[in-house]
Amino acid sequence: MVVSQSVVGRTNAEKPHGLAGMLKNPYVFMTCAFASLGCIMYGYDQGVMSPVLVMENFQNHFPGLMGSTIQGWLVSALELGAWAGALFNGYLADRISRKYSMMVAVVVFTLGSGLQAGAQTPAYFFAGRIIGGLGIGMFSHVIPLYQAEIAPPELRGSLVSLQQLSITIGTAVAFWLDYGMQFVGGTTCNPEGLSDPYLADGSFDYETAHGHTCLGQKTIAWRFPLALQILFAWVLFFGMFFFPFSPRWLMSQHREEEATIALSKLRRLDPNDPLIRAEVLEIKAAVMFDEESDREAVAVGGKLAPWKALFAPNMFKRLVLGCGMLSPLLWLPSAKANARRRAGMMICQQFTGINAVLYYAPQIFASFGFSSSKQTLLATGVTGILQIIFTLPAVLFLDKFGRKTFLIIGAAGMFCCHIVVATVEGLYQDDWALNEGLYKAQGWVAIAFIWLFAVNFAYSWGPVSWVLAQEIFPNSARSRGVSIVASTNWMFNFVIGLTTKDMLNSMKYGTYIFFAIFSALGGAFIWWFAPETKDKTLEELDIYFGGGSDSIAEADRARMARINEELGLSGVEKVEDLVDEKKAAHDELREIQLGLRVSGSKRPGSYPASRGIKAPVPDAESLLQTSSHPLPSLNVFTSFYITQDIMGWFDGDTHQSRSYEEFNNLDAGNEEHRAKFSHELIAGAASFEAMKAYEQHCERNGKPESHETAKELLAGFAGAFIDREVETRGLDFIDREKAKRHARQQVEEASRQDF
């Protein structure tokens, strides 16, 4: 199915992609790159343990952690914590913002890393792994979410791919730091009082050596790598103070002015640029649609309804694609055709075997006939370097060639690599087990194809599956949906970490056949059933998942059409249409204004004196140019002009009425009066006038159909009043945007009572 493009999607599709596009907008590139520090910690923590497990000093310190099953639990404890962190962060990121939830994740991660680095007993080490995993899971959820929400459509794939690039950088840094640190004091423990601490097969006898001080390799060889990751965390924490909030999150909090400013900064365009207005309106339309849908769901199903809605047929398709979760719903006739064919991403990503390699690389390479820890750690370090290099194609070209191309080619490459490794190990595993240095060349072939496997994963399923996961959910459900996808990824990551060591010991080469099958299945799913999301805005992707006649209710389509009509998006094919519409609104408002001046005013340009309002009638052009609303809705300003001419003095003794009276009795030219002006005072006055104008509007035109429309009417009245008063009375020292936010909060409460 072809996904039609919005005005923003069509315009941005012509802009440079990849590296050229990022250089054109260095601010958004640097913001996404800096946020990726959290992913460096994610990769670092995944890579740091496998080399540590083969260090003799660590084995001497924790002999109880050396069994294959307990090592599986130790490695996978991080994933268990990450599963919980990713799931919880869906709520937190919506509640306190994407930005602040990253800062919370830093604090949690620091606690976990400190426990690992300073652990004296296995219990502390396990606790550190789980708590550190909570922070990692939070990072894995919020960082790609934040990157996707601030990135322009033509760069979204490249910028979100920075996440995977950073993971590979973190993994490589951990591998090579461990490789270097193993030489601190020597590569062997050399336990005091033991002349030969090795078993017949050449492995370190950690049980006998336990309790004897290592005279060779030092404890810092493994404590320092575990502690270093805290540094990355706090660089990210302090850098977050300079990050912008996500415009989409700001819009969901009804902070439209801030959303417009943040978006214009991220796009390097003026807030009044038609493209900024178009994108703001598309985001606003999506937020309005989702909020109305959520309110209806909560009214019927209670507070958990927005989470339950993720399992409704049109949303469940997205979950199935993102998670690869198969459920009984797949067999329902109404859902079978759509949901089953979209299965496959995060579960298949884990079952390609990438984390089996990252978690147990030294042991895997040792099974190919290499007993030296120096050789196996060196080969592990090469894996990390290759992953960095070959993640770059996704960063540079993902938005040019598309998501499906990378995923399908990567799946085919991983399948072939696993088959070759399984064949070589099946033929020579018995000879390698003799530890006599036989068939070294064949061992290097197996290592080479493990490296090629890592290469194929690095440019495809590593970055692209996370990009796609951010793109398939609507604005209001994105944080919740991505948290479930991320937590599913971590749950199966946990399964891989827990079982791989035992699989390698019992299944041998069969382990690689298992991973090959899932690589092939993943490629087949993507080939047949995944949408191509290149160049699409996050909002217009809803068309694919909810726009077909077989998947979304007619009422939902009608609702979106109504919202687009209210916001002035209907019929807009290019950004220039917004300029034309603004001019048309200007002309019509001028006619309305002239009519008011002739029929209602004692002198042109002012309100009737009998109303007690001394300010002049606002100029239509001034309102259109100075109002912060991206595209002023004509009915809002029309209602404003008409009701201003007929409204009388509101006699209620309210905060707003008192503010209004006090505000109008102040003279901006009087220094003593001037000191009394504040954004709170003008906001109260604006709220009073807006509520009275709204009352008159309802008498003449009927009550609005929705709470959202009522809020926008009231906010439009209040915003126009503030713009007019600041311009005509010389109140430039007042923070206009803060006053509008303050007024919006007051009128929203009034509209909520009305509904």
Q: Long-range contacts for 722-727 (Cβ within 8 Å, ≥24 apart)?
A: 722/682, 722/683, 722/686, 723/618, 723/622, 723/623, 723/626, 723/627, 723/628, 724/615, 724/618, 724/622, 724/623, 725/615, 725/663, 725/682, 725/685, 725/686, 726/626, 726/682, 727/618, 727/622, 727/626
Buried b (16+ CB within 10 A) or exposed e, 333-347: eebeebbbbbbbbbb
Query: Are 159 and 151 spatial neighbours (Cβ–Cβ below 8 Å)?
Result: yes
Place of tokens 């109303």: 611
At 474-509, the pLDDT tens digits run 756 777 787 788 778 888 888 888 898 889 888 999
**Of residues 704 and 133, which shows the higher confidence score?**
133
Helices (H), 460-474: 461-471
Q: Any residues with CB less than 8 A from the CB of 662 and at least 6 apart, and which?
A: 676, 681, 685
DSSP state at residue 725: H
- Secondary structure of 560-604 as H, E, C letters: HHHHHHHHCCCCCCCHHHHHHHHHHHHHHHHHHHHHHHHHHCCCC
Q: Which domains are assigned to the chain?
A: 26-246+354-473+493-539 (1.20.1250.20), 592-754 (no CATH)
Q: Any residues with CB less than 8 A from the CB of 191 and at least 6 apart, and which?
A: 60, 197, 209, 212, 213, 214, 215
Helices (H), 182-255: 206-209, 220-239, 247-252
Could you tell me the CA-to-CA distances from 219 to 59, 63, 120, 132 in Å, in that order? 11, 14, 11, 21
CA angle 728/729/734 to nearest 5° reads 110
CA angle 106/107/112 to nearest 5° reads 95
Rounded CA-CA distance 174/222 in Å is: 11
Give the bridge partners for 191, in sequence order: 214
Could you tell me the CA-to-CA distances from 170 to 38, 49, 372, 404 in Å, in that order? 10, 12, 25, 26
What number of CA atoms fall less than 13 Å from residue 459's CA on the CB side?
Answer: 25
Instruction: Give the confidence band of 433 by pLDDT, cuts at 50, 70, 90.
Output: confident
- In this predicted structure, what is the pLDDT of residue 476? 62
**Of residues 437 and 358, which shows the higher confidence score?**
358
- In this predicted structure, what is the pLDDT of residue 483? 77
Helices (H), 702-734: 707-728
Least confident window among 392-396, 432-436, 463-467: 432-436
Instruction: Give the confidence band of 115 by pLDDT, cuts at 50, 70, 90.
Output: very high
Rounded CA-CA distance 473/544 in Å is: 11
Place of tokens 């979304």: 552
127 backbone dihedrals φ, ψ, rounded to 5°: -60, -45
What number of other Cβ atoms are within 10 A of residue 100's Cβ?
16
Query: Are 175 and 54 spatial neighbours (Cβ–Cβ below 8 Å)?
Result: no
Rounded CA-CA distance 605/361 in Å is: 79
Rounded CA-CA distance 463/474 in Å is: 21
Instruction: Give the confidence band of 219 by pLDDT, cuts at 50, 70, 90.
Output: very high
Rounded CA-CA distance 19/25 in Å is: 10
**Mean pLDDT on 210-239:** 93
At 256-290, the pLDDT tens digits run 989 999 999 998 888 888 888 888 888 888 888 88
* Model confidence pTM above 0.85: no
**Of residues 139 and 5, which shows the higher confidence score?**
139
Query: Are 269 and 276 spatial neighbours (Cβ–Cβ below 8 Å)?
Result: yes
Which of 200, 288, 203, 302 has the alpha carbon at shortest distance from 251? 288
Rounded CA-CA distance 331/438 in Å is: 53
Q: Any residues with CB less than 8 A from the CB of 674 and at least 6 apart, and which?
A: 666, 668
Query: Are 3 and 531 spatial neighbours (Cβ–Cβ below 8 Å)?
Result: yes
Least confident window among 231-240, 455-464, 499-508, 642-651: 642-651
Place of tokens 């006739």: 333
Rounded CA-CA distance 120/128 in Å is: 11
- In this predicted structure, what is the pLDDT of residue 389? 93
Give the bridge partners for 204, in sequence order: 198
How high is the mean pLDDT of the chain?
A: 78
- Secondary structure of 511-556 as H, E, C letters: HHHHHHHHHHHHHHHHHHHCCCCCCCCCCCCHHHHHCCCCCCCHHH
At 229-244, the pLDDT tens digits run 999 899 999 999 998 9
Buried b (16+ CB within 10 A) or exposed e, 683-694: bbbbbbbbbbbb
Query: Are 393 and 459 spatial neighbours (Cβ–Cβ below 8 Å)?
Result: yes
Which of 102, 90, 45, 395 has the alpha carbon at shortest distance from 239? 102
Give the bridge partners for 606, in sequence order: 616
**Mean pLDDT on 722-732:** 82
The 3-state DSSP class for residue 258 equals helix
What number of other Cβ atoms are within 10 A of residue 482's Cβ?
26
**Mean pLDDT on 524-551:** 67
616 backbone dihedrals φ, ψ, rounded to 5°: -70, 160
Query: Are 472 and 541 spatial neighbours (Cβ–Cβ below 8 Å)?
Result: yes
Rounded CA-CA distance 325/347 in Å is: 8
Give the bridge partners for 620, in sequence order: none
